[in-house]
Amino acid sequence: MKRKSTIIAYMLAGALMSSCTTNTQKSDKKFEMEEIIGKSSPKIENGIMTPEVLYSFGRVGEVQVSPDKSHIVYEVTYVSIPQNKMNTELFVMKADGSEKKQLTHSNSRENNPRWINGGKKIAFLSDEEGTPQIWTMNPDGSDWEKISDIEGGINGFSFSPDEKKVLFVKNVKTQPTAADRYPDLPEASGRIIDDLMYKHWDQWVTEVPHPFVADFSEGKLQHAKDVLEGEPYESPMLPFGGMEQLAWSPDSKIVAYTCRKKTGKEYALSTNSDIYLYHPETGETINITEGMPGYDTNPQFSPDGKYIAWQSMEREGYESDKNRLFVMDLQSKEKTYVTEKFDYNTDAFIWNADSKTLFLVSCVKAKTQLFMADRTTKEVKPITEGVHDYVSVALGEEGKLIAKRHSMLQPDEIYSVDIASGKAVELSFENKEILDQLTMGKVEERWIKTSDGKQMHTWVIYPPRFDSTQVYPALLYCQGGPQNTVSQFWSYRWNFQMMAANGYIVVAPNRRGVPGFGMEWLEQISGDYGGQNMKDYLSAIDALADEPYVDENRLGCTGASYGGFSVFWLAGNHNKRFKAFYAHAGIFNLEAQYLETEEMWFANWDLGGPFWDKSNPVAQRSYANSPHRFVDKWDTPIMISHGELDYRILASQGMMAFNAAQLLGIPSRLLIYPDENHWITKPQNAILFQREFARWFNQWLKK
């Protein structure tokens, strides 16, 4: 894979250094040690995607519009397969997409950009000196200056509207180590555990994030105060929460934050988070969602400061409940359920400048669009249409939105969207050079009749240069979650174009249990693992197997997480439809999973409760459908991969399944990652995954 020459990288880095008048100069040594990870020019043969090409795409991250709406600063992350590293840089462009400029050029990570000083400065995080700290620079990338020196580093930040204070997040220690308890045992590695939630997703819980408020004076952060001083709770909430879970009021007097004020067993059993209003001057804290038992997250004050909006789920313990949009009048305390008439999730939102309407991101029928909602009439109207997924939205110039979107044909790019017409114009073109060289497979929507007579949305992705007179092997893709839509997503692991480029037709159904098709369709899966949704999978692959261009004798099946569970279950219940399986991070034994996982609210809601509750028919049906109970019917080659840092679904689940296949004499392969979690994040591990994935299916489906 070709990359920019090291000489050019040095020149760019040197140009930036010479233009800065910083308190702390960048180290020349860093640039001498290794090539800067930046935009690459991959070798593309015959216009076909390869794993190396897939990992050469620039990944557009956070997008911030300047106060006067004239410019956009944004992140792009690049990958180096040889260095096995990723690097995030900052870029700026005008709001019409012109005059693009790369602001940073180093192997330190620059992210979390924020416009300050009326757009005359950009504040951002950089780990240039080892830990992430806040720096500022001019909009042309010059005059770097470090303004924070927080021990342990900063996870994220935002300036108050008057820019006299800074809200930032850093980790605080909540659990003593063995050495803390016994100073004479400084090398003791044992963990002393007295309660649940001692591990979460991919880490042992010894510290949690807290929001801090600091004064910003004389160009530095000073007098930082912990908003949750002495409290063992987390805010933002792990593992996915960020700065979107905190907000400043327009008058800079209040901080709204999201917090689930529970620990241990209580935390493990509940999704009840709340929105709190904290007054930095007095320390007063008010819970504005008390009595609302589900997730309440992501507060945003209206521009006029009279209202606050947030996302809310109704039922405690149900993490996939409808994500509703609520607004509160801060004076009267009256709450309005804005999306009451809208049967879909609010995935993201922002206020309009009029403080009366809001713009939403929502997935409807497997495509994610922009909508406008009126807080008083509760009317929700679509703005965009088309085959794509919008994933973020911000206010742009008059009558425009700035939004990020992707599809199965293209990774994230930044667009300007006309509010009146919904017309979108691409601005960033980060990956145009690569996309122009690739031949992508056609993506087709189908509606397939299910075993109970309903219509199921299904994506079919064809190999590049598909020829309907030829016959192809096909892969059934089983979605994870389980409550995740197979929308127009672009993935760097489960990439449908990558699968299609290997010569497969990909069948990706939106089976029972996914959002975007109404609450009835979503909720059917809870308590019915191994039930109707499995029949939906078989309906989808059977429908495509009837096509003359699909070889019904060369069908494969794959998926991760709940999709991995689905693969394990289908391996014992497929009636010889499939010739090969691949499962990643899947649940094999539901009884073991109930006691191995950490978020007990999920297991209680989706499985119906513990396996020892013999009086609970829902739970007993769930455990009766555990894949391990059908392993005696396994008769098909199966490959399994798992990460040993996965505490959501322990690697022992994958190992059990592999061991069972080996003992049964079934051709099988195990790909185990000691240093990966529920996902595969390291570049070379990801390339290994793609190569082994293709090698496995090619071995059994292309004979």
Whether 194 is a known active-site residue: answer no
CA 466 to chain centre: 31
Out of 321, 389, 606, 646, pick the active-site residue.
646
The sign of the torsion formed by the CA atoms of 497, 500, 502, 507 equals positive
Strand (E) or helix (H) holding 448: strand 443-449
Nearest by Cα to 220 from 178, 275, 164, 169: 164
Sequence-ordered list of residues with C-beta below 8 angstroms from that of 620, at least 6 positions apart, any chain: 608, 611, 613, 614
The sign of the torsion formed by the CA atoms of 541, 547, 553, 556 equals negative
DSSP per-residue letters across 323-387: -EEEEEETTT--EEETTTT--S---EEEE-TTSSEEEEEEEETTEEEEEEEETTT--EEE---SS
Sequence-ordered list of residues with C-beta below 8 angstroms from that of 255, at least 6 positions apart, any chain: 167, 211, 213, 227, 246, 247, 248, 249, 277, 278, 280
Sequence-ordered list of residues with C-beta below 8 angstroms from that of 327, at least 6 positions apart, any chain: 302, 307, 308, 309, 335, 336, 338, 358, 375
Q: What is the spatial distance between Cα 280 and Cα 150, in angstroms, rounded to a whole number? A: 19
Output 344-349 pairs: Cβ under 8 A, ≥24 positions apart.
344/515, 344/516, 344/518, 345/515, 345/516, 346/311, 347/323, 348/298, 348/391, 348/392, 348/393, 349/298, 349/300, 349/309, 349/311, 349/325, 349/373, 349/393
Out of 388, 406, 628, 678, pick the active-site residue.
678
Q: Is the peptide bond before 186 cis (omega within 30 degrees of 0)?
A: no
Out of 80, 108, 158, 561, pick the active-site residue.
561
DSSP per-residue letters across 86-114: EEEEEEEEETTS-S-EE---SSS-EEEEE
Q: Are 169 and 156 in contact (CB under 8 A)?
A: yes
Strand 133-137 versus strand 357-364 pairing type: unpaired
Q: Are 96 and 65 in contact (CB under 8 A)?
A: no
Whether 646 is a known active-site residue: answer yes
Q: Which single residue is written with the structure tokens 């713009």?
A: 359
Whether 561 is a known active-site residue: answer yes
Q: What is the spatial distance between Cα 214 and Cα 221, in angstroms, rounded to a whole number? A: 6
Would you call 630 helix, strand, or coil by DSSP? Answer: helix
* Radius of gyration, CA atoms only, the chain: 26
Strand (E) or helix (H) holding 299: strand 296-301
Nearest by Cα to 702 from 494, 508, 553, 544: 553
Q: In terms of DSSP H, where are the helices of 546-650?
A: 562-571, 590-596, 600-607, 617-624
Q: What is the spatial distance between Cα 124 and Cα 111, in angstroms, rounded to a whole number? A: 6
Q: Is the peptide bond before 239 cis (omega within 30 degrees of 0)?
A: yes
Residue 52 in tokens: 């190396």
Residue 542 in tokens: 């059977």
C-alpha angle 500/506/510, rounded to 5°? 140
DSSP per-residue letters across 162-226: TSSEEEEEEEEE-S--HHHH-TT-TT-------SS-SEETTEE-SEEEEEEEEEEETTEEEEEEE
Residue 429 in tokens: 């073109």
Active site residues: 561, 646, 678
